Every structure is written in structure tokens, then in C-alpha cells.
Amino acid sequence: IPMDLSDNASYAAYKDMLEAEKPQVHLLINAAGYGLFGTFDEMELDNQLGIIDLNDKALTAMCLLSLPYMQKGDSIINLGSNSSWQPVPYLSVYGATKAYVLSFSRAIGRELKSRGIFVMCVCPGWIKTEFMDRAVHDDTIKYYDRWYTAKQVIDKAMKDFRRKKKVSILGLPVRMQVRMVKLLPVDWIMNIWCRQQGKK
């Protein structure tokens, strides 16, 4: 069902469809989203707010609207990012939206546990998809440590999903980075990232 989730009217259309069809939503996957690389104060307001609207507002709406049609044994998978774990200069809004996705997924996963509904957040590193075609519009971001394919991310996510892992992380380098982010001061992490990108 093609819908523009950046348009609030789509939520009403989705709600109406659910009310008419009354399906059981066995698996909801929220993977819509985009980001922009660049300096925060040099990017258009509409673009920045659009990232928040699609990455967070639409994801929240789809979860809330779908839950009345979900039962014990059903699941939600939300697409976060490696950026979920830390502030990311020059991807500031995108990183913040993905921090929301991770926190939101964990919180509602706990709330929905009593209903037998499972929630997982997928937090991949760099993926070669159309996302990059929109995100990259200059050379602000220069350093990419390792690329993964969409298939690799999906295969790992489905493996973790079957194991009922609440967070799916592909690749040892990404897992090590997440562990490092948890242990080191935030300023150190941002300093490392900025040096990698040739920024002060």
C-alpha cells in the first residue's frame, strides 16, 4: 500500500483502512526514513524538520495505529542506526532521531511485554542503499569505516529476531564501537568522529 508517511493525511488513511479491514498485524516493520549530512545551521529548516517527521513522528504513528490490531506473538521491528548510540556532529538531527527510535523501541517493548508483543530495534552501520543518494550532497562526511549491504543487515536482523534480541547490530566493528561509546566520555567520542571527518 503506497503511502507518503511524511504527509499527516496518510495516518488517517491507514487508520481508516485498518478499521475497514480489521486485519491482524503480525509484523510491523518501520524502515522509512532519511538523513542529510552537513552543518546544522547551513541546512534548510524544512529538510531538518522533515527528517524528524519521517524518522520519528511517522514511526510513532504507525506503531500506535497498528497496536490495536496486534495480538500475543506479534512483533514490531524499528530501524535505528549506529547513530542511535551517540551524538553525531554533521548528522546532528538524523542522529538525534535515531536515538529516539532506540529509546522508544526499548520503552514500548517493555510496556508491550505483558501483551506478548515483541519489539526489536535494528541499529546498522553504513549501508549501501538509496539513503546515501539523498544524504550526501557535499563532502562534509569523508570517512566511512566499513560498508554493509542491505541483505547483510536483513539477514542479521532476522537471525536476531528469531532469537528475540531487543537490539540487532551487524558486524564486530560496529558492536565494538557501541561498546566503546558506552564506556568513553561523550566528548571523546565526538572528538574521534570529528577528527575522522577532518573537523575540529
Is 47 within 8 Å of 93 (Cβ atoms)? no
Enumerate the H helices of the chain as residue ranges: 9-21, 45-52, 59-66, 92-112, 131-135, 150-162, 172-183, 186-196
Query: Cβ–Cβ contacts within 10 Å for residue 153, how many?
Result: 21
How would you classify the pairing of strands 167-168 and 147-148? unpaired
Cell of 115: 501483551
Residue 144 bears catalytic tag: no
Q: What phi, psi does 168 have (nearest 5°)?
A: -110, 125
Q: Which of 94, 143, 144, 148 is catalytic?
A: 94
Phi, psi of 136 (to 5 degrees): -95, 115
CB atoms within 10 A of CB 187: 9
55 DSSP assignment = I
The H or E element that residue 167 is part of is: strand 167-168
Active site residues: 94
